[in-house]
A and B are shown apart, each in its own frame.
Chain A
Amino acid sequence: MTIEPARRVQAVPPSGIRKFFEIAEERDDVISLGVGEPDFSTPWAARDAAIASLERGRTSYTANRGMRELREAIAAYSRERFDLAYDPDEEIIVTAGASEAVDLAFRAFVNPGDTVAIAQPAYISYEPGVLFAGGEVLPVVTREEDEFRLTVDALETAGAADADVLVMCYPNNPTGAVMTRAELEPIAEFAVSHDLTVFTDEIYAELTYEGEHTSIATFDGMRERTVVFNGFSKAYAMTGLRLGYALAPATAIGAMNRIHQYGMLSAPTTAQYAALEALTACDDDVEEMVAQYDRRRRFVRSRFEEIGMPCFEARGAFYLFPEVPPNWAGTADEFAESLLREQGVAVVPGDVFGEGGEGHLRVSYATGLEELREALRRIEAFVGEL
């Protein structure tokens, strides 16, 4: 007898990035621009707080929703930084990474058969999350001519008016697109008029290089229908510490907590102490990291333009989303595979992020400048031989 996985698990294909990971592992000269995590270390003060918490033996569960002190700090930070006012007692939950928060939201608010519209290209975990919850995915394709921003036109074309939930992520993984207040306003109106629940993943909010990050939850009529996801992985370089959170009205957080309290009980305690310190004492570290990313962003984009790979000006996250060169006859997936095999540069083909990603590559600049320079030299050599 074999254990038969549930049908909804079998229905989810393996991740499209796995093949590239396996090829990259075969050779030792690979420069990877395929990583979705900072190359910086967690700010020392945060690491020190984690160590101190261990030294004091603070290794037991915390409250299911997270340490109260941390929830208060999250509330203060969200209010001051993004004008998002949430009650630390009722409207905030601390999770094991923002990914857990996203998963909780799908499970808490998606009924079997519900339609979840996802602005694509999108982070690769949203779609499986919907399928695991028994929902159906409706791709809402954003286009390069719109700088990969979500538009009402795209929502209408996709038929999102009839969806139950809309998932969006700005600054965006994989495109690096951001949306301004003016661009978000019609989306908020659309959500309100069609009674959509909105999941907004704002994990890259701190990595906004021009202008201020705006959350869609701040528009009239949106707070009560929105779940905001954020976390410490990107801005504070804390990916391995697995700490995220969600902000939403009390009933929504209560529903998410009902699942969380049975599945996770509470987010890792050591990581919560690190996060508390990150929020209260690491602004300068974040500022320095953001300045470095910004320089790399300008550098890499300018090199792609020089190489002849058109690349719109991404203003957030740490990704660029250039097109494969016009004289490349195959798919982006084939381009990425050949580039990896021939030049040892790993990038992720846009196809794996869903519709709208075809013909593009996700290039992460969370890598040192010297390596970026060398990677782009190799890409230039590869493209030059086409």
Chain B
Amino acid sequence: MSQREVLELLRENARYDVADIARMTGLDADEVEATIEELESAGVIRGYRAVVDWDKLERERVRAEVELNVTLDRETSYGDIASRLAKFPEVKALRLVSGDYDFDMEVEGDSIREVSQFISEKVAPVPEITQTVTHYVMTSYKESGIEFGDGDDDDRLSISP
């Protein structure tokens, strides 16, 4: 149970320090530290990342959601195709999904040209891939559970009974 609680808190904010998590859960700091180490070494926690609203920066950052259809043969599995695609640093997320297409791939680059080139030159030529449909992200409203926006919508009275 404490594992789950620690995970929930880290998912909420990976920058909570051990002392804060200990305060919130009522566990000892040592227990929290041990739990986090355990989760890391068991591969449950795979990394810590910032959730970035790129629109707030001057620098352009282009993201695309790409739908991929594939055909399998006797020698090739979904896993084989996935491990090939996942190795590209441009690919930020890759998931096998049910429905009209097989893989849902998230690609990031510095320009639309860079992303398009990557898809046409690196992804489309993979022999098992039969179709790619690229959707460029125009605006992000929510990422990793965090809503983007000005965030200052607390209109409660500052003091109330």
Q: Do A and B bind each other?
A: yes
Query: Which chain A residues have a beta carbon within 8 Å of chain B's beta carbons?
Result: 15, 17, 20-21, 24-25, 30, 32, 34-37, 39, 123-125, 173, 295-296, 298-299, 302-303, 346, 348, 369-370, 373
**Complex contacts, B20 vs chain A, CB 8 Å:** 299, 373
Residue from the list B12, B23, B24, B156 in contact with A37, Cβ < 8 A: B156
Residue from the list B23, B25, B158, B161 in contact with A32, Cβ < 8 A: B158
Contact A15 B154 (CB under 8 A): no
**Chain B interface residue bracket vs A:** 10 to 19
User: B13 on the interface (CB 8 Å rule)?
Assistant: yes
> Which of A15, A298, A346, A373 has the most chain B CB atoms inside 10 A of its CB?
A298
Contact A17 B23 (CB under 8 A): no
Contact B158 A30 (CB under 8 A): yes
User: B160 on the interface (CB 8 Å rule)?
Assistant: yes
Contact B25 A295 (CB under 8 A): yes
Whole-angstrom CA separation of A17 from B158 in the bound complex: 10
Query: Which chain B residues have a beta carbon within 8 Å of chain A's beta carbons?
Result: 9, 12-13, 20, 23-26, 154, 156-161
Contact A303 B161 (CB under 8 A): no
Q: Can you offer 6 A-B residue contacts whose CB atoms are under 8 A?
A: A15-B161, A25-B158, A39-B156, A298-B25, A299-B23, A370-B13
Whole-angstrom CA separation of A14 from B161 in the bound complex: 13
Q: A65 → chain B, closest Cβ, in Å? A: 26
Residue from the list B25, B154, B158 in contact with A24, Cβ < 8 A: B158
Q: Across the two chains, which residue of chain B brings its CB closest to A305?
A: B23
Contact B159 A32 (CB under 8 A): yes
Contact A298 B26 (CB under 8 A): yes
Contact B158 A36 (CB under 8 A): no
Given contacts A39-B154, A295-B9, A369-B13, contact A302 B23 (CB under 8 A): yes
9 additional contacts (CB under 8 A) given A346-B158, A369-B24: A36-B160, A36-B161, A37-B160, A124-B161, A295-B24, A296-B24, A299-B24, A346-B159, A373-B20
